[in-house]
Amino acid sequence: MDVDLGGPISLEATLTCGQAFRWRAAAFPCRSDLLVSYRGVIPTGEKDGPGQLAVLVGQKAGVTREISVAYDPSYAAGLTQADVANAVRPYFAASDDVTAIEEALSRQDPVMSRAVQGGRGLRILQQDHWECLASYVLSVNNNIPNISRIVEYFAGCLGGPVGLGLFGFPSPEKIACQDSVFLRQSRCGFRDRYLKDAAERVVSGEVDLVDLEKMPTEQARKRLMRIRGVGPKVADCVMLFGYHRLDAFPVDVWIARAMSRFYLSGQVVTPKAAREEGMSRFGSLAGYAQEYLFFGIRGDGPAPFLSRAT
DNA sequence: AAACAGGTGCTAA
DNA sequence: TTAGCACCTGTT
């Protein structure tokens, strides 16, 4: 099945830029024309079933407007093809006018123009609230391969099968009732109590993840920060990747460095200052600006132009 | 071997 | 408000 996203998408930029932790390169069966393809799990929105479905996504070239989608129908009981397409579209932010975003940010300044050029077709995903929160709690002072490993471990141990050999991410209820011995077996280290605290506060309703949808970004962010392990950076990531608040500007050490070097004449800057600078410069597109910068710096993309010295 | 990784909590000024 | 330090674990 093909799904039209209404504007450019690069699966590589979108799925390897580090915003989501469960996508892996995987061959698309019977379709050698799809040059790039990945396997992962998306939320389906269905109430009864697991609410998640493993899918293969692929495209013919680096940047296209359509993507191909495949899945195992036996794990999509009660879902028509149209239902799956209707789950894929919002996950890949079909309603974002990516062309307009790229153009607007390219006009912003020469550095951002270069960053956009290197990350054409990158989209901010709309991930599941809870999986996003849990993933970023696990990301604290951690590295990406390790985070992915831990997330996969929890899915494999506590999640149900969702097709293609993959498992769904376990609910907060499922995490909340695990003892500390079990959590430690995931090798998530000191983050075990963070994850537990997040699950408990979500289950108790102290942090109502659906409620946050209606709140202004700043207020929702403050609410998330009641969870241990959720500071400014994690809260901004959850707002951006789990709630699609494009005005959020998460600052990690890489972004802080980039903001200092390119926009603040190399001064040493606190994360707070870098965040304020980013938000005031890029406004309602701050989230996209941040991802273009991050993709450019990290060098996962075609040109790690921002990482070179001088 | 020692340092570092997509930060945060805690304590002290 | 902010600076300084410890922190699980895996890699290099």
Residues A165-208: tens digit of each pLDDT: 999 999 999 999 999 999 999 999 999 999 999 999 999 999 99
What's the Å distance between residue A65 CA and nucleotide C9 C1'?
Answer: 41
Sheet holding A24-25, edge to edge: A2-9, A64-70, A52-59, A36-43, A24-25
Q: Is the pLDDT of residue A302 over 50?
A: no
CA separation (Å) from A206 to A138, A202, A236, A243? 20, 6, 19, 18
Per-residue confidence (pLDDT) for residue A310, from 0 to 100: 31
Task: Give yes or no for CB of A193 within 7 Å of strand C.
Answer: no
Report chain C positions within 7 A of protein CB atoms: 2-3, 7-10
pLDDT single digits (tens) A114-130: 999 999 999 999 999 99
Q: Is the CB of A189 under 7 A from strand C?
A: yes
| Confidence at residue A309, expressed as pLDDT on a 0 to 100 scale | 39
Res. A259 pLDDT band, cuts 50 70 90? very high
Helices (H), A211-264: 217-224, 232-237, 243, 253-263
Residue A307 has pLDDT above 70, yes or no: no
Cβ–Cβ < 8 Å for A239, A217: yes
Cβ–Cβ under 8 Å, residues A227 and A137: yes
pLDDT in tens, A54-84: 999 999 999 999 999 999 999 999 999 999 9
Looking at strand B, which nucleotides approach a protein CB closer than 7 A? 5-10
- Nearest nucleotide by C1' from A18 CA? B6
Mean of the pLDDT values across residues A18-41? 96
Which backbone phi and psi does A38 adopt, to 5 degrees? -140, 155
**What one-character DSSP code corresponds to residue A123?**
-
Distance CA A138, CA A154 (A): 11
Query: CA–CA distance from A244 to each of A138, A287, A302 (Å)?
Result: 20, 9, 25
Contact A168, A162 (CB under 8 A): yes
CB proximity A273–strand C (7 Å threshold): no
A119/A207 Cα distance (integer angstroms): 34
User: What is d(CA A176, CA A154) in angstroms, rounded to the nearest whole number?
Assistant: 12
Q: How far is the CA of A189 from the C1' of C10 (A)?
A: 11
Asked whether residue A67's C-beta has any atom of DNA/RNA strand C within 7 A, the reply is no
Q: How far apart are CA A20 and CA A60, in angstroms?
A: 22
* Single-letter residue type at A214: K
CA of A128 to C1' of B7 (A): 22
Footprint of strand B on the protein (CB under 7 A): A 17-19, 139-144, 146-147, 225, 227-235, 237, 250, 252-255, 271, 290, 294
Phi, psi for residue A24 in degrees, rounded to 5:
-130, 145
How far apart (Å, rounded) are the C-alpha atoms in residues A197 and A267?
37
Separation CA A30–CA A81 (nearest Å): 19
Reported as a single tens digit per residue, the pLDDT across A128-151 is 999 999 999 999 999 999 999 999
